[in-house]
Structure 1
């Protein structure tokens, strides 16, 4: 069997960029057991409520939902167990200091296969205020209206 190449996305946390301001990102490996990889190959994962913390200078991910493998036996894994993230010691210490000092959080943005191995894109985030969210939505709508007007103008249509 040939080795896998490239990147294929398993799951994304689409609400994360809306709820948080992303300050920094990094790629981390994840320790999996049993049939978790088979379940991930089928795309049965959810990052919606997942978050990461540092305990005893090790990074752990909580509330990551990986569904049980349908064709598994009694050896199936627990669906929402805590999972260890694989990072260099310097990266863990750097992020631990930033989280403890300024009250930031660590949230996964996406999970994907990179050359056959499961990776998690982890983000260092700060929560957005309600007015920030509304402001961002208004900006996006304005940009969409401008693009639509430019497209209509270039195609020779009347402006709405």
Structure 2
């Protein structure tokens, strides 16, 4: 599994409840630019429209070698492929519980197909974000202290 693009901001802004894997409909030039790492998922989210899932706000740059007549829109909505039962489950969670569906990553699976890792998430408050940062700093300091102790520096 090779990561092509990650959404680091989603882990900061949301608490992840459940993750899913979805296929994504792309054009050939978009796949090439994804392989070159020219994608940004920072402000992307997933919306369910008429029983179909779409990735909105994702930016996939086109390559300079792409023909001018066939250049896709960089911020176009891209269809996500999932089973109908999974889409209905997500739609129920979003509409009933007020949750959000965010894109966490785009990656290549074992068969070299581009997949999207999406998550059912709940938004964090400001104090929750601060608590997460404090916990991350404490864990980092603890790991550093343990490695220094094991090396015999202390």
CA distance in 2 between counterparts of 1:84 and 1:149 reads 47
Equivalenced residues, count: 152
Structure 1 unaligned residues grouped into runs of 5+: 1-6
Match of residue 113 from structure 1: 108
Question: Which aligned pairs between 1:14-25 and structure 2 lie closer than 5 A?
Answer: 14-25=8-19
Which of 21, 26, 31 pairs up with 2:25?
31
Which residue does the alignment assign to 1:51? 45
- Given the two structures, how large is their TM-score scaled by the length of structure 2? 0.93
Q: 1:129 maps to what in 2?
A: 125
Q: Tell me, which stretches of 5 or more residues in structure 2 are unaligned?
A: none
Report the aligned-residue RMSD. Answer: 1.3
Tell whether the 8 Å contact from 1:34 to 1:77 is kept in structure 2 after alignment: no
Please give the alpha-carbon distance, in whole angstroms, between the structure 2 residues aligned to 1:150 and 1:32: 46
Report which of the two structures shows the higher radius of gyration computed on alpha carbons: 1
Select which of 139, 142, 145 maps to 2:138. Answer: 142
Write the deviation string for residues 130-159 of structure 1: whole angstroms up to 9, x where unpaired.
11111111112222222323333333333x
Cα deviation digits, residues 12-67 of structure 1 (max 9, x gap): 00111111000010000011125211211211111011110111111111111110
Q: Which has the higher helix share?
A: 2
* Whole-angstrom distance in 1 between the partners of 2:29 and 2:149: 55
Aligned pairs for 1:91-106 within 5 A: 91-106=86-101
Native 8 Å contact 1:34 1:76 kept in 2: no
The DSSP-based 3-state class of the residue aligned with 2:75 is coil
Cα separation, 2, equivalents of 1:65 and 1:84: 14
**Structure 1 pair 152/59, CA: closer, same or farther in 2 (3 Å)?**
same
- How has the CA–CA distance of structure 1 residues 35 and 145 changed in structure 2, closer, same or farther, with 3 Å as cutoff? closer
The reply on whether 1:76 has 2:71 as its aligned counterpart is yes
Q: Which of residues 85, 90, 94 in structure 1 aligns to 2:85?
A: 90
Secondary structure of 2:70's counterpart equals coil
Query: CA contact under 8 A between 1:13 and 1:110: conserved in structure 2?
Result: yes
